[in-house]
Amino acid sequence: MGDETFYRLAGRHVVFGKVLSGMDVVYRVEAEGRQSGTPKSTVVLADSGELPL
């Protein structure tokens, strides 16, 4: 990634990774977004974590 990419991501919540299961949940969370960046409703992630490689 170049400097331009990092500039566009500055000040935003960014996650890199791979969804192993539950892509339907990702789509539902994505659907709560607005063009302005504010969510339509509160989205709470619970019982999340990372898996060992």
3-51: pLDDT as tens digits: 665 667 667 677 777 888 889 988 998 898 888 878 899 888 787 777 7
- Counting the structural domains of the chain, the total is 1
Domain-embedded: residue 25: yes
Looking at residue 5, its pLDDT comes to 59
> What are the tokens at 14?
């960014």
Q: Is residue 14 part of a domain?
A: no
34 lies in which domain range?
19-45
Task: Tell me if 37 is assigned to some domain.
Answer: yes
Contacts of 26 (CB under 8 A, 6+ apart): 19
**How far apart are alpha carbons 17 and 47 in whole angstroms?**
17
